[in-house]
Every structure is written in structure tokens, then in C-alpha cells.
């Protein structure tokens, strides 16, 4: 007997396996969630495409899944063996939720908000990296890291993902008299990083808490819905 056609898809599950979702295993498409589209009776993967999107900023109140999103991106970027490698740096301005990432092989460092010296050094190095790559990429007429890997025959050149949990707190710390240098360098990286494979993935509670990091730098902000439990996926950890 043929079972009757089910009129509705199941609700989204509370957890998905990233290995299952990110089956393309590409660093150009980092899956971080599942989206329900009930009107079309469809469910889609939610994907950050760094070469297209540049940066990603997720806004949401407490408990909406901001830290989980960053962890998920970090994990997803670790299995992209059909694309190229990614290197993750994390700045933790929201309660040490990124510390756990230190164990991952593709995570370079996780820096705590209090560690001013390392933050300064990292942001300076990122700015220098973007400059250096801009020159190298121009030499082989590459306008994304994918082109560069091909044209320069450097398949292992890593995409760089800079995670910042609590960009509002970062801004209050560094968008401040006597400290603008750090903020300016970061804003410059955000504005010029896309074409050279350097991307910011950040979270904040409200849009206006990130002040002068102007919206043009971040063409695709994502607002995490209230009641997100049904909306996005978590990175394989449970509380
Ligand atoms: N996409 C998701 N699907 C289901 N549960 C989720 C999802 N994202 C996060 N959660 C769960 O929701 C809770 C809050 O998530 P998380 O800590 O990431 O939120 P947050 O926005 O960082 O909160 P805070 O602002 O307080 O730091 C956690 O228990 C987490 O496991
Ligand atoms: Mg958090």
C-alpha cells in the first residue's frame, strides 16, 4: 500500500550534523544553519559565502545563538577539503564562549578581551596581511582567494576568518580616544578583506552598538530571530 503523501515537512530538528549539511566541503560556502520556508514547503541550508558576502555580522539579544553561530562557522571551515583551508582567529569579547575552539586544528588563536597586547598585535598583522595579499593577488590578477590559489599555484593559501564575539564591547574598548588605531585597522580589514580572503564574522546585541563600523562594510547583516531554537543549528555541543 502506498502511504498517503504527507502534506507538511517535519519541523526543523533541534540539531543537525554539520558533516551532513556541509556535504560540499568547500571553504566558499560555510553552512551555519537551516532555514524553514513553510510557504514553499522547503527547508534550506543557510550559508555564508565569504567571497561574495565579505563579512558577516549577526545581531541578536542574549541567548539567540550568537556564540553558537561563531563556533559553527569555525567548525564548518575546518572541513573544506574539496576547497581550500581556512585559518581562524577569535577575539572573545562576550564571556569566553570561544575558548573551546582552541582545540581545533584550524584555529590559530583565541584571544581574550583583556589581552590588549595580543589583540593589538593580531589586528596589526591582519592589516599587514591584507596589504601583502593585495599586492600578490594583483600580480596574478586574482580577485578572490580561489583565483589566487589557482593562478599562483598555491592551493594551501588559507582563507582567514576573524571571529569577534561581542563587537559592541570591542568597539567600546577600541573605538575610544587614544586607541583608534586598532579600530581603524580593523575597519580597514573589514573594508578590504573580501577580495583577498580575509573576513570578519562578528556578533553584537544591537546594530547601533557597533557604532561607526559603517553598514557599508557589512552588506549582509543577519538578525537572529527570537526563538531561534527552531531556526539555526548548533555546532554539535549541548548544554
Ligand atoms: N541554532 C540553534 N538551534 C538550537 N539551539 C541553539 C541554536 N543556537 C544556539 N542554541 C542554543 O541556545 C543557547 C544560547 O546560545 P548562545 O550561547 O550561542 O547564545 P548567545 O546569543 O551567544 O547568548 P549570549 O548573548 O548570552 O552570549 C545555547 O544553549 C545553545 O546551545
Ligand atoms: Mg554568547
Parallel, antiparallel or unpaired: strands 86-92 and 159-165: parallel
Q: What is the pLDDT of residue 18?
A: 82
Closest ligand 1 atom to residue 239 Cα is: 29
Q: At what angle do helices 180-192 and 167-174 cross, to 10 degrees?
A: 130
Whole-prediction pTM: 0.89
Q: Which residues line ligand 1 (CB under 6 A)?
A: 14, 60, 62-68, 94-95, 228-229, 232-234, 239
Joined together, the cell numbers standing for residue 180 give 583608534
| pLDDT for res 169 | 93
Please state the φ and ψ torsions of residue 17, each to the nearest 5 degrees: -85, 125
Q: Report the atom number in ligand 1 closest to the C-alpha of 60.
A: 21
Grid cell at residue 192: 578590504
**Residue 76: helix, strand or coil by DSSP?**
helix
Domains in the chain with CATH codes: 18-230 (3.40.50.300)
**Do residues 50 and 163 touch, judged by C-beta distance below 8 A?**
no
Q: Are 101 and 110 in contact (CB under 8 A)?
A: yes
Please give the Cα distance from 177 to 135 (Å, whole number): 32
Ligand 1, pocket-test mutation among 11, 18, 45, 65, most atoms within 8 A of CB: 65
Q: What is the pLDDT tens value at each position of the chain, 239 positions in all? A: 677 666 677 788 888 888 887 778 899 999 988 888 878 888 888 889 999 988 888 888 888 889 999 999 999 999 888 899 999 999 999 999 999 999 999 999 999 999 999 999 999 999 999 999 999 999 999 999 999 999 999 999 999 999 999 999 998 898 888 888 998 899 889 889 999 999 999 998 876 666 655 554 555 556 665 444 433 333 332 22
Which residues in the chain belong to E strands, given as ranges?
A: 30-37, 42-48, 56-59, 86-92, 107-112, 159-165, 198-204, 221-223
Compute the distance from residue 19 Cα to the ligand 2 centre, in Å: 23
Q: Tell me which residue of 101, 92, 64, 71 sits closest to 173, measured CA to CA.
A: 92
Pocket test for ligand 1, best of 234, 235, 238 (most atoms within 8 A of CB): 234
CA of 218 to the centre of ligand 2 (A): 20
Q: From the centroid of its chain, how far is CA 209?
A: 19
What ligand 1 atom has the least distance to the C-alpha of 64? 21
CA 220 – ligand 2 centroid, Å: 20
Residue nearest to atom 31 of ligand 1 (CA): 238
What's the rounded Cα separation, in Å, for the pair 112 and 166? 11
The ligand 1 atom at the shortest distance from the C-alpha of residue 233 is 1
- In the chain, alpha helices (H): 18-21, 50-53, 66-76, 116-139, 145-151, 167-174, 180-192
The answer to whether the CB of 68 falls within 8 A of the CB of 232 is yes
Amino acid at each position: 500500500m502506498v502511504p498517503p503523501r504527507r502534506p507538511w515537512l517535519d519541523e526543523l530538528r533541534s540539531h543537525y550534523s554539520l558533516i551532513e549539511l556541509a556535504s560540499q566541503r568547500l571553504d566558499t560556502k560555510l553552512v551555519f544553519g537551516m532555514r524553514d520556508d513553510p510557504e514553499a514547503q522547503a527547508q534550506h541550508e543557510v550559508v555564508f559565502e565569504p567571497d561574495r558576502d565579505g563579512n558577516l555580522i549577526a545581531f541578536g539579544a542574549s541567548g539567540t545563538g550568537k556564540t553558537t553561530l561563531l563556533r559553527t562557522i569555525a567548525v564548518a571551515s575546518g572541513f573544506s577539503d574539496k576547497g581550500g583551508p581556512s585559518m581562524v582567529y577569535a577575539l572573545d569579547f562576550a564571556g569566553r564562549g570561544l575558548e573551546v575552539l582552541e582545540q581545533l586544528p584550524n584555529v590559530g588563536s583565541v584571544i581574550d578581551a583583556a589581552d590588549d597586547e595580543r589583540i593589538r598585535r593580531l589586528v596589526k598583522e591582519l592589516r599587514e596581511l591584507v596589504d601583502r595579499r593585495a599586492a600578490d593577488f594583483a600580480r596574478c590578477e586574482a580577485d578572490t582567494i580561489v583565483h589566487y590559489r589557482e593562478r599562483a599555484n598555491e592551493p594551501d593559501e588559507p582563507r582567514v576568518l576573524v571571529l569577534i564575539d561581542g563587537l559592541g564591547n570591542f568597539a567600546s574598548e577600541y573605538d575610544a580616544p587614544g586607541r583608534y588605531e586598532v579600530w581603524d585597522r580593523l575597519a580597514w580589514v573589514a573594508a578590504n578583506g573580501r577580495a583577498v580572503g580575509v573576513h570578519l564574522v562578528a556578533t553584537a546585541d544591537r546594530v547601533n552598538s557597533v557604532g561607526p563600523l559603517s553598514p557599508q562594510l557589512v552588506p549582509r547583516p543577519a538578525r537572529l530571530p527570537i526563538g531561534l531554537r527552531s531556526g539555526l543549528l548548533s555546532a554539535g555541543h549541548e548544554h
